[in-house]
Chains A and B, each alone.
Chain A
Amino acid sequence: DVKVTQSSRYLVKRTGEKVFLECVQDMDHENMFWYRQDPGLGLRLIYFSYDVKMKEKGDIPEGYSVSREKKERFSLILESASTNQTSMYLCASTSPGLASRGAYEQYFGPGTRLTVT
């Protein structure tokens, strides 16, 4: 059974703090993703990674950075947290799709609800 875990379910931080959100998957997946989820906006991709030490910007990377030092772990970093980064953060992982078989599903963690005050 695939498992994606996130370091915290709830987090409260102050404006200007550096925040680390950790995600670990146990299925040896190559691809990992960070999304934020906001009411009425659905899921928006922040960053993703195809392999260790590789990263690609998603749709809303501003104010965020990521780190992938090991295949199973993908960290999201808020360098200086701001109130507009209050949100639900979701991590996901998957294997690369195959042209002949289509895409594999993404597996999601339970989410971290971050509040920045």
Chain B
Amino acid sequence: GDSVTQMEGPVTLSEEAFLTINCTYTATGYPSLFWYVQYPGEGLQLLLKATKADDKGSNKGFEATYRKETTSFHLEKGSVQVSDSAVYFCALSARGAGNQFYFGTGTSLTVIP
């Protein structure tokens, strides 16, 4: 079945460091891919998405490229800030599946000044 495997955390970085959170997926067909962010005490918010191969999603300095050949959607940011401290979830939704989502287990990021 469809699934997402996400890099385990927690991840701790210094401010202005480079961030990569790995995400790979298994899916039949052509899924859409998403990164969500969850700040403490809140629900999930969409960070970025990509709906087809080679698409790059970007938002707030974060980027991820939909790589069909490696079935990956790694999240990157060139210079993290303390305010980026949160839990990040990779997710996929297979087309025609009623928009059912499959989430990774989440990666906790802490950025220290």
What string of 1s and 0s marks CB contacts (under 8 Å) between B43-64 and chain A? 1111001011000000000000
How many angstroms from the CA of A99 to the CA of B93 in the assembled complex?
12
**B113 touches A (CB below 8 Å):** no
| Residue total for B at the interface (Cβ-Cβ under 8 A) | 29
Residues from chain B with Cβ under 8 Å of A104 in the complex: 99
Residues from chain A with Cβ under 8 Å of B95 in the complex: 97, 99, 102-103
**15 residue pairs bridging A and B, Cβ less than 8 Å apart:** A42-B6, A42-B103, A43-B103, A92-B44, A96-B98, A96-B99, A99-B96, A102-B93, A103-B93, A104-B99, A105-B49, A106-B44, A107-B46, A110-B41, A110-B43
**A70 touches B (CB below 8 Å):** no
Closest to A112 in B: B43
| Residue total for A at the interface (Cβ-Cβ under 8 A) | 29
Are A108 and B105 in contact, with the CB atoms below 8 A?
no
How many angstroms from the CA of A99 to the CA of B43 in the assembled complex?
28
**A45 touches B (CB below 8 Å):** yes
Residues from chain A with Cβ under 8 Å of B105 in the complex: 40-42
Closest to A41 in B: B105
Residues from chain A with Cβ under 8 Å of B98 in the complex: 31, 48, 50, 96-97
What string of 1s and 0s marks CB contacts (under 8 Å) between B79-102 and chain A? 000000000010001111111110
Knowing A97-B32, A102-B51, say if A108 contacts B100 (CB, 8 Å): no
Residues from chain A with Cβ under 8 Å of B25 in the complex: none
Residues from chain B with Cβ under 8 Å of A109 in the complex: 43
- CB of B26, distance to nearest CB on chain A (Å): 15
**B69 touches A (CB below 8 Å):** no
Residues from chain B with Cβ under 8 Å of A65 in the complex: none
How many angstroms from the CA of A104 to the CA of B93 in the assembled complex?
9
- CB of B5, distance to nearest CB on chain A (Å): 11
Residues from chain A with Cβ under 8 Å of B34 in the complex: 105
Quick one: which of A76-100 are within 8 Å of B by CB? 90, 92, 94-97, 99
Are B106 and A108 in contact, with the CB atoms below 8 A?
no
Residues from chain B with Cβ under 8 Å of A102 in the complex: 30, 32, 51-52, 93, 95
